[in-house]
Amino acid sequence: MEGGDFSHYRAAFSILLDYRIDAPPILQDFLTYHEAIQGHSKRTVDEYFLDLRNFFRYIKIEKNLVPRSAEFDSIEINDIDLALIQSVTLADVYSYMNYLSRDRAQHPNSDQTEYGLKATSRARKVAAIRSFYKYLANKAKLISENPMQDLDSPRMKKALPRYLDLNSSIQLLESVDGPFQERDRCILTLFLNCGLRISELIGLNKTDVRGDQLRVLGKGNKERILYLNDACIHSLQDYLDVRDTMQPIDLRALFLSRRRTRISKAAVEKLVKKYLLKAGLDASQYSPHKLRHTAATLMLQNGVDVRTLQEVLGHDNLNTTQIYTHIDNENLRLAAKANPLGKVNPPSKKKSSIPQESED
């Protein structure tokens, strides 16, 4: 892969690249590297492509390569070459970020759109630009220095994750009934005990259940093994007893739809909302991902250290996991009460001995 010759990868994965026919070869090679070598999902690679396409559309306008009156979303980028890519500076990127935060339509195809992308959207675009230039410098060896090495991301507000408390979690599990109750209870049990992502749950195969272990394929096709507690083991066994009588069309899938094929993301989201409502909880505030937050929070509150939690959740970066350490919980209250000075009360106020002046 040295020297930037990814032509053999591009040929092998030409089918994957059909929808990127307007991308120049240098960008196609980058996208192929992420999809075929890094194992990133098609959705992630699509987002990289769209983000970089818009960035180079802006660069072409700023470098006077197209008229400033040109329709932004119609600007072609298949003529982008290495010389133009090397000419981009940090100042160009920050100018682009300014354009995104002030002038870029949030919904370009809507007449009712607002303008200015949120920090989270801009941060994703920064990540795409940074990744592209890192690839050119470190993998393709097409540039000697990475001009985006010091590129900063927009500052973002860190909101604490929303989660269910223990009683609400039990309430949710007890709300499950109906013809698919074994399947649905098993899904909720895995969310609340293992902290799975929804993509990980629907991707589970029957062979991933291995006694008291569960093989999970996470982001970037990274495999991890989770140990199952009694609730998960019993719930899985109850569901598998039913599943084996369903005559599955998809023999590999662990969780089946009513059509006996692999359950979809939409179906899982729908059943979670259904039982949230049935349990009397606010379905607009919670989702499968909030159940993942719930699992993480309950584990941390009950003695799991943050590094172990990082492995359970499949986080690459410990900083991602540490957000859960800031959640108000009983451990923090106990820590406050443990300080011996907490029982030292301030002295009571003494009456002043200074004589008061008369009011006459």
Q: What is the pLDDT along the chain (360 residues), one digit of tens a residue?
A: 444 454 444 443 443 444 457 789 999 999 999 988 888 888 888 999 999 999 999 999 999 999 989 998 899 999 999 999 999 999 999 999 998 888 776 666 555 566 778 888 889 999 999 999 999 999 999 999 999 999 988 876 666 678 899 999 999 999 999 999 999 999 999 999 999 999 999 999 999 999 999 999 998 788 999 999 999 999 999 999 999 899 999 999 999 999 999 999 999 999 999 999 999 998 888 899 999 999 998 998 888 888 888 888 988 877 777 777 666 555 556 666 676 666 666 665 555 444 444 444
Q: Which residue pairs, CB below 8 angstroms and at least 24 apart, start in 100-106?
A: 100/125, 101/154
Q: Distance between alpha carbon 285 and the CA centroid of its chain, in Å?
A: 17
The string over 337-354, giving b where at least 16 C-beta atoms fall within 10 Å of a residue's C-beta and e elsewhere, is eeeeeeeeeeeeeeeeee
List 141, 206, 224, 289, catalytic entry: 289
CA distance 125 to 93: 10
Q: What angle do CA 48, 290, 286 make, to 5 degrees?
A: 110
Q: Which of 1, 308, 309 is nearest to 140 (CA)?
A: 1
CA distance 281 to 155: 33
Active-site residue, 224 included: no
Asked if residue 158 lies in contact with residue 322, where contact means CB atoms within 8 angstroms, the answer is: no
Active-site residue, 8 included: no
List 40, 57, 130, 315, catalytic entry: 315
List 124, 219, 234, 273, catalytic entry: 219
CA distance 186 to 231: 9
Q: Count CB neighbours of 160 within 10 A.
A: 12
CA distance 96 to 55: 7
Instruction: Please state the pTM of the whole predicted model.
Output: 0.61
Active-site residue, 292 included: yes
